[in-house]
Amino acid sequence: MNVASAIQMVAGLAWLIFIGAIIFAVMQATRRRSFKGLATLVIVAGVVALLLSTASAGLVFIQPEQRGVVISAVAPRGYREQALQPGLRWIVPFFENVITYTISRQTYTMSIAQMEGDIKGDDSISARTADGQEVLVDASVIYSVDPEQVVQVHIVWQNRFANELVRPLARGIIRDAISQFGIEEVYSSLRGVLTQQIRDEMSRKLAENGLILGEFVLRNITFSPEYAASVEQKQIAEQQAQQAFFVVEQRKQEAEQARQVAQGKADAVVIQAEGDAQARVIQAEAEAEALRKIAAALEENPDLLTYQYITKLAPGVQVMLVPNNAPYLLPLPTLEPTTVIQPATPPPATTP
């Protein structure tokens, strides 16, 4: 409760006391009783009530979120040119009165939903795009009264600016802006550009009428059932095409993977073949070197071959069979004498 309201309550109480005292004095007079003390009470109560009423009529408390427009019978134009600022203010009692306006942000919503908008029911904005498609737009305008232009707003619009300024202005600007864009631009690539264009134009128009645009919100865009169905079919076709593309890419990757595996196996075979060939070369070089060394050793010591041959013979060898037409390659060691069995002489033939 502010001071002005408190004084007004006290003034009301004083007037009640004043009226009550008068009634009581009249009752005393009808009974022919003395009412001198009551007369004093009536006078005092009347004076106090009048003073308090005058004070309460001249004091106005302006809240921090408000500005006061003073309608004056003593001002040349019928109003004060400057609005009252927050706090306890004094006006001319009974000749001036104050109309307060909030400067806090307010929201005006236009929605297709039944209970969301300022106007109940479908209050969406019907607009047509540059290519002739119909769309339904849900939007919210967040605005406030310019504290420096409160008096002018009162003169021009009073308290009608929400329904008679913000609403028609927003609907007209939205329709004009959407008509400059194609249907696909509205809901996809250029939606941000569209929103910014509406915001800039609305800010300029509201400022011309003493209002400040806080924010414009493009809440939703609804398409006609026919276009929504075509968009859905297009999206399905795009998804199928994208899925087919993924399948092709997957097959390409699988083929590339198989090619790389085959290439890896081929490379492994080549590497192994090269390794085997190199190993055979090294082995042949080693054998050739060994033969060169053996030849050199035999050249220096011819009997070495005989020695090697002898060392390879089994220790119990008694008989060796060689082809009758092959010469002895080396002298044989002395063998133990063996008994030669002569064939028996056949008996002489008998003559009958």
What the block records as the tokens of 320 is 């060796």
- Number of domain units in the chain: 3
pLDDT in the model for residue 338? 46
What SS3 class is residue 237?
helix
pLDDT-derived band of residue 351, with 50, 70 and 90 as boundaries?
A: very low
- Quick one: what percent of the chain has pLDDT higher than 90? 31
33's tokens = 């009783």
Q: Return mean pLDDT, the chain.
A: 81
pLDDT at 307: 66
Where among 100, 128, 161 does a domain terminate? Answer: 100
59-118 confidence digits (pLDDT tens): 888 999 999 999 998 888 899 999 999 988 888 888 989 999 999 999 999 998 888 888
- Report how far residue 88's alpha carbon sits from residue 67's, in angstroms, rounded to the nearest whole number: 12
Question: Could you read off the pLDDT of 115-128 as tens digits, one per residue?
Answer: 888 888 889 999 99
Position 216 confidence tier, pLDDT thresholds 50, 70, 90: very high
Residue range 292-324, pLDDT digits in tens: 877 777 777 766 666 666 666 656 655 555 556
Domain boundary among 82, 100, 118: 100
Rg (CA), the chain: 61
* CATH number, residue 119: 3.30.479.30
Give the type of residue at 82: Q
Residues 217 and 160 in one domain: yes
28 contacts 73 by C-beta, under 8 angstroms: no
pTM over 0.75: no
SS3 66: strand
For residue 31, being part of any structural domain is answered with yes
Q: At what angle do helices 225-300 and 304-312 cross, to 10 degrees?
A: 110
Closest Cα to residue 103, out of 67, 156, 152, 151? 67
Structural domain of 271: 239-295
Looking at the domain assignment, is residue 24 inside a domain? yes
H or E element that contains 311: helix 304-312
Residue 222: exposed, middle, or buried by beta-carbon count in 10 A (0-12, 13-18, 19+)?
Answer: middle
